[in-house]
Amino acid sequence: MTSVANSTSVYQDLAGALNPVVFAESVGIEPDPWQKTVLNSTSNRILLNCSRQSGKSTITAIMGLHHALYTSNALILVVSHTLQQAKETFRKIVRFYQQL
């Protein structure tokens, strides 16, 4: 049984590494369609024009964590208008990391 559980874990990790939407689901987030589009984007720059409380910081936290875990020598910067906003995004990243 242990080898089956371990192989399932490996498959889930590989699926999450290859697909950021699967990664988001693995930390308990069910992305909306627009969030799936953002997560699957390979663009170097993304502009989000969204309402308050739409999930922007959650999705960007997941993107940052995914990049940090699966890209060698990744540099992740959490930048915001205020220190409090940056801290909130960083707390989300830490919480998602702990859920893995």
Give residue-wise pLDDT tens across range 19-77.
999 999 999 999 999 999 999 999 989 999 999 999 999 999 999 999 999 999 999 99
Cβ 92 vs Cβ 63: under 8 Å: no
With cut-offs at 50, 70 and 90, classify the pLDDT of residue 11.
confident
Ramachandran category for residue 46: left, alpha or beta (phi over 0 → left; psi -120 to 50 → alpha): beta
**Residue 39 three-state SS:** helix
Cα(62)–Cα(68) distance, rounded to whole angstroms?
10
Which stretches does DSSP call E strand in the chain?
A: none
Q: What confidence category does residue 90 fall into, taking pLDDT thresholds of 50, 70 and 90?
A: very high
Q: Categorize the per-residue pLDDT at 1 as very low, low, confident or very high, splitting at 50, 70 and 90.
A: very low
DSSP letter for 94, please: H
Domain boundaries, the chain: 2-99
